[in-house]
Amino acid sequence: MHDALPAAYDPQAVERKWQARWEERGTHRVDLAGARRPFYNLMMFPYPSAEGLHVGNLYAFTGADIFGRFRRLGGFDVFQPLGFDAFGIHSENYALKVGVHPAELIPRNIENFRTQLRRAGLMVDWRYAVSTTDPAYYKWTQWIFLQLHKAGLAVKKRAAVNWCPACKTVLANEQVVGGYCERHPDTLVEQRTLDQWFFTITKYAAKLLDNLATADWSHSTRTLQTNWIGRSEGADLVFETPGGHRITVFTTRPDTLFGATYVVLAPEHPLVDALTTAECRADVNAYRRKAAAMDMVTRRVGEKEKTGVFTGAYARNPATGESIPIWIASYVLMEYGTGAIMAVPGHDERDFAFATKFALPIARVIAAPGQDPAAPMAQAEPDIPDGRLVNSPGYEGMPWAEAKRVITTALESKGLATAVVNYRLHDWCISRQRYWGPPIPIIYCNACGTVPVPEKDLPVVLPQLEDFRPDDTGISPLARNEAWYRVPCPACGKTARRETDVSDTFLDSAWYFLRYPSADRNDVPFDAALTKRWLPVTSYIGGNEHAVLHLMYARFITMALKDLGHLDFEEPFPRFRAHGLIVKDGAKMSKSRGNVVIPDRYIEQWGADTFRMYLMFLGPYQDGGDFRDAGIVGIRRFLDKIWGLLDRVGAGAQAHQRTGVPAYQGADAEALVRHLHRTIQRVTADTEALAYNTAIAAMMEYVNALQKGEPSAVLIEPLVVMLAPYAPHFAEECWERFGHSTSVMDARWPAFDSALAVEEQVEFVVQVNGKLRARLLLPRGTPEGAAVAAAQAEPGVARFTEGEVPRKVIFVPDRLVNIVV
Ligand SMILES: [Zn+2]
Ligand SMILES: [Zn+2]
């Protein structure tokens, strides 16, 4: 069993040996069907890029791996799978760039990733790896589409969509950042009108939001998702025209209704034609033509100079009864709200700019206490937290939040208002006019209409297409392959046509955690018994860059599958922790800066264990850290010291029973035992809290103490177990050197004795002017200042020192405080 290794710590030899041993012994395997204490430790699966594993990937995985190993040592059956999120535009664009087909490129990348991940020492059960590009996987992605379609949650809509001219495809709202493409930060996203498949995630908006309240999630992640769902309470208000038309506007501030001095419609609003007067028609039509030519993003963001035109018509403000003008302007969009707004220039910046330009009236209707309601307004005053209503007859002096409700209720009785809850969340557009994705399983027949592909015909295999370059037509490259898309209609048998769009990559990753335990099953997407045993996921660790995309979609798919009877839980990730990001010398890593850290180089030079620990030592795992090469040698030295300690106590020593308190002799040994228990207590609490950096620091302090004292095997063995999650190969080797023949991962996490873990107390004699006045128990090593303060707080001492300034203090560490007054 005991392979001969060089005397000095040689990470390459140790790691090679244990990686082979783990595979041979199946150390990382878990018995899914028989597990008694299942712990599903999920980490976000990577996109297997051609560049290979990024240090950011490794940072995320290592932190998750430490937690999984910690739970295993705590007695859980830990399932820790990994897979590959390999469909999508990243892979396709890269394939186009290098001129290799993705079907060839992706398996190559995956193989490379696997090798790198093995080298990193992750506790992965590779028997359950999945790749989203595998027909055995996407068969079930398509199956999920069909279930949602059956339930009316997948619908086709003709809609204005975000189109990236560089990607040549539709983007979800979540993929548009400040009007630009997430992948092309220099490319403005345009508006296009296309027929698209949508998942109606908005039906779940309330549940997606409400459940967050009880989710054990990182605060930052919960906040990001809450804001993205964007619930707002307000009202639909009706502005009537003399001609009997009703213009409905949504507002979150019905309390400002008295300040609504005009109405603005989207140029496409269906009432524009009917409302426009003969005198204004030419101007209105010209403006509408101009707006139609503008892209969506400019319209949404708003032009620098406000534009708009008067329709010649008026509507009645339902609160004041006054006639106010109706304008049209490009910044009002049909896609949002009702396509009409009430303008409150006194309390909205955009309305203020518009009113100023076109000389429309501006009124103050909310004022801070003491503010003159009649003073002219030099700018909009949007937020007055303690504001009360002014210039609003019948509601004068009412706090605005209360007025919001009261005014809505008053108008509701007249049929002029409806209280509404609005969400910022939009339906999820899942159509992509690209090649590298699962075909959407739909067939169009002239006689039968839209026909879902029968489940028995799944998967709809993505055909091998040599020319898969997207073009500007908005039609998927699959539409060039007639032999593929012409199929008999499953209902009537006549010639029909397949849907040629593929689905969004985020659908692939919205259910992968359901698949892992059943990855070897071809008859079901997920086995009922295994799902019951292993899901929902016990712990999920990942990056906040997926807070609003992946996490929300996965929650939605889970909720939908639950409602359709396929699952018995609705939240897939009851516990989620966001890890931080690492930067390099203070700057974000990027290719253009040339500061990307390639993990392979460091692993080759230092070994995976040192590299893992170094990454974790950079800062609190949930905050991230700054990668500076200089620090890595300190970690290596730490492992060398432990190796040296093993030499000192005698390699090949007998395995020890680590139950109870180790025997010791003398004060020195007692101090080390206390230090050990204190270390176990700290490392346990810190690892549990993902505070890996401070756990490592505690182990370092302990090792320094061992070096100075009389180390023994019983003092080192528990350290080796605590080290196993952090430096798994190294810990295995040490464990074997102690004479164990089983994996350290099958050991038990050491327990600590809280009586020993508290700092050792020593008795101080307290004197005043040389006379004994008190005895005090204080932690060993208490510094002078703290000891004197504690002494002076003793009533028996205070009696003699009160009001006096000590002339002198005699301090003997751990023994004596003598205050001379
Ligand atoms: Zn793009
Ligand atoms: Zn048919």
Q: Which of the ligands is closest to the CA of residue 445?
A: 2
Q: Ligand 2 centre from 775 Cα, in Å?
A: 96
pLDDT of residue 806: 84
- Asked whether residue 130 carries a pLDDT value surpassing 50, the answer given is yes
- Asked whether residue 297 carries a pLDDT value surpassing 70, the answer given is no
Query: Scanning the structure block, which residue is given the tokens 């002198």?
Result: 808
Instruction: Please give the structure tokens belonging to residue 477.
Output: 């490259």
How many CB atoms are closer than 10 A to CB 587? Answer: 10
pLDDT of residue 452: 98
- Give just the sign of the alpha carbon dihedral 158, 164, 168, 174: negative
pLDDT of residue 643: 96
Contacts of 134 (CB under 8 A, 6+ apart): none
- Asked whether residue 802 carries a pLDDT value surpassing 60, the answer given is yes
Q: Ligand 1 centre from 186 Cα, in Å?
A: 9
Identify the weakest region by mean pLDDT among 17-26, 125-134, 415-424, 788-797. Answer: 788-797
Query: Scanning the structure block, which residue is given the tokens 């018994």?
Result: 529
Q: What is the mean pLDDT of residues 786-796?
A: 88
Looking at every residue in the chain, the average pLDDT score rounds to 91
Question: Residue 305, exposed/middle/buried by CB under 10 A (0-12, 13-18, 19+)?
Answer: exposed
Q: Ligand 2 centre from 201 Cα, in Å?
A: 29
pLDDT of residue 650: 73
Query: Strand, coil or helix: what is 592?
Result: coil
Give whole-number Cα distances, 94 to 120, 361, 418, in Å: 25, 56, 51
- Asked whether residue 664 carries a pLDDT value surpassing 50, the answer given is no
- Asked whether residue 768 carries a pLDDT value surpassing 70, the answer given is yes
* DSSP H stretches of helix in 689-794: 692-708, 713-723, 728-737, 754-757, 784-793
Cα–Cα dist 274/296, whole Å = 25
Cα–Cα dist 409/1, whole Å = 81
Q: Ligand 1 centre from 586 Cα, in Å?
A: 28
CA angle 361, 367, 368 (to 5 degrees): 150
Q: Ligand 1 centre from 501 Cα, in Å?
A: 17
Q: Ligand 2 centre from 263 Cα, in Å?
A: 49
- Asked whether residue 629 carries a pLDDT value surpassing 90, the answer given is no
Q: Ligand 2 centre from 474 Cα, in Å?
A: 26
Q: Ligand 2 centre from 379 Cα, in Å?
A: 62
Identify the weakest region by mean pLDDT among 298-302, 403-407, 436-440, 561-565. Answer: 298-302
Q: Ligand 2 centre from 452 Cα, in Å?
A: 11
Cα–Cα dist 447/493, whole Å = 10
Q: Which of the ligands is closest to the CA of residue 186?
A: 1
| Interaxial angle between packed helices 632-649 and 713-723, expressed in degrees from 0 to 180 and rounded to the nearest 10 | 140
Q: Ligand 1 centre from 173 Cα, in Å?
A: 12
Instruction: Please give the structure tokens belonging to residue 499.
Output: 């849907």
Q: Ligand 2 centre from 454 Cα, in Å?
A: 13
Q: Ligand 2 centre from 159 Cα, in Å?
A: 26
In the chain the first and final C-alpha atoms are separated, in Å, by 71
- Asked whether residue 4 carries a pLDDT value surpassing 60, the answer given is no
Q: Ligand 1 centre from 758 Cα, in Å?
A: 58
Q: Which of the ligands is closest to the CA of residue 444?
A: 2
Query: Strand, coil or helix: what is 615?
Result: helix
691-703 confidence digits (pLDDT tens):
999 999 999 999 9
pLDDT of residue 180: 87
| Interaxial angle between packed helices 713-723 and 692-708, expressed in degrees from 0 to 180 and rounded to the nearest 10 | 160
Q: Ligand 2 centre from 487 Cα, in Å?
A: 10
- Asked whether residue 385 carries a pLDDT value surpassing 50, the answer given is yes
Q: Ligand 2 centre from 496 Cα, in Å?
A: 7
Q: Which of the ligands is closest to the CA of residue 497?
A: 2
Instruction: Identify the top-confidence range among 286-295, 329-338, 480-489, 808-817.
Output: 480-489
Q: Ligand 1 centre from 613 Cα, in Å?
A: 37
Instruction: Please give the structure tokens belonging to residue 212.
Output: 């967050």
pLDDT of residue 652: 45
Q: Which of the ligands is closest to the CA of residue 487?
A: 2
- Asked whether residue 657 carries a pLDDT value surpassing 80, the answer given is no
- Give just the sign of the alpha carbon dihedral 476, 478, 483, 485: negative
Q: Ligand 1 centre from 92 Cα, in Å?
A: 13
pLDDT of residue 295: 67
Percent of residues, the chain, with pLDDT higher than 90: 73
How many CB atoms are closer than 10 A to CB 450? Answer: 11
Q: Ligand 2 centre from 154 Cα, in Å?
A: 20
Cα–Cα dist 430/747, whole Å = 47
CA angle 263, 312, 237 (to 5 degrees): 25
Cα–Cα dist 407/399, whole Å = 12
pLDDT of residue 658: 43
Q: Ligand 2 centre from 438 Cα, in Å?
A: 23
Q: Ligand 1 centre from 184 Cα, in Å?
A: 5
Identify the weakest region by mean pLDDT among 516-530, 584-598, 732-746. Answer: 584-598
Cα–Cα dist 63/67, whole Å = 7
pLDDT of residue 15: 98
- Asked whether residue 666 carries a pLDDT value surpassing 60, the answer given is no
106-120 confidence digits (pLDDT tens):
999 999 999 999 999
**What is the pLDDT confidence band of residue 668, given thresholds at 50, 70 and 90?**
low
Q: Ligand 2 centre from 195 Cα, in Å?
A: 20
| Interaxial angle between packed helices 11-25 and 102-119, expressed in degrees from 0 to 180 and rounded to the nearest 10 | 110
Query: Scanning the structure block, which residue is given the tokens 């189109």?
Result: 163
- Asked whether residue 487 carries a pLDDT value surpassing 90, the answer given is yes
Q: Ligand 2 centre from 433 Cα, in Å?
A: 24
Q: What is the mean pLDDT of residues 722-731?
A: 98
pLDDT of residue 327: 98
Q: Ligand 1 centre from 178 Cα, in Å?
A: 13
Q: Which of the ligands is closest to the CA of residue 163?
A: 1
Is residue 539 within 8 A of residue 42, CB to CB? The reply is yes
Q: Which of the ligands is closest to the CA of residue 491?
A: 2
Q: Ligand 2 centre from 448 Cα, in Å?
A: 4
- Give just the sign of the alpha carbon dihedral 504, 510, 513, 514: negative
Contacts of 351 (CB under 8 A, 6+ apart): 343, 344, 345, 380
Q: Which of the ligands is closest to the CA of residue 164?
A: 1
**What's phi and psi for 678, nearest 5 deg?**
-65, -40
Question: Which carries the bigger pLDDT value, residue 120 or residue 659?
Answer: 120
549-588 confidence digits (pLDDT tens):
899 999 999 999 999 999 999 999 999 999 999 998 888 8
Q: Ligand 1 centre from 89 Cα, in Å?
A: 9
Q: Which of the ligands is closest to the CA of residue 167?
A: 1
**What is the pLDDT confidence band of residue 428, given thresholds at 50, 70 and 90?**
very high
Q: Ligand 1 centre from 167 Cα, in Å?
A: 4
Q: Ligand 1 centre from 169 Cα, in Å?
A: 8
Q: Ligand 1 centre from 515 Cα, in Å?
A: 30
190-246 confidence digits (pLDDT tens):
878 888 999 999 999 999 999 999 999 999 999 999 999 999 899 999 999 999 999
Q: Which of the ligands is closest to the CA of residue 93?
A: 1
pLDDT of residue 729: 98
> What's the pTM?
0.83
**What is the pLDDT confidence band of residue 778, given thresholds at 50, 70 and 90?**
confident
Contacts of 371 (CB under 8 A, 6+ apart): none
Q: How is residue 480 annotated by DSSP?
A: G
Q: Ligand 2 centre from 495 Cα, in Å?
A: 8
Q: Ligand 2 centre from 497 Cα, in Å?
A: 10
Q: Which of the ligands is closest to the CA of residue 496?
A: 2
- Asked whether residue 461 carries a pLDDT value surpassing 50, the answer given is yes
pLDDT of residue 653: 45
Give 518-585 as a DSSP string.
GTT-SS-SS-HHHHHHH-S-SEEEEEGGGTTTHHHHHHHHHHHHHHTTS-S-S-S-SEEEEE-EEEET
Cα–Cα dist 212/195, whole Å = 33
pLDDT of residue 727: 98
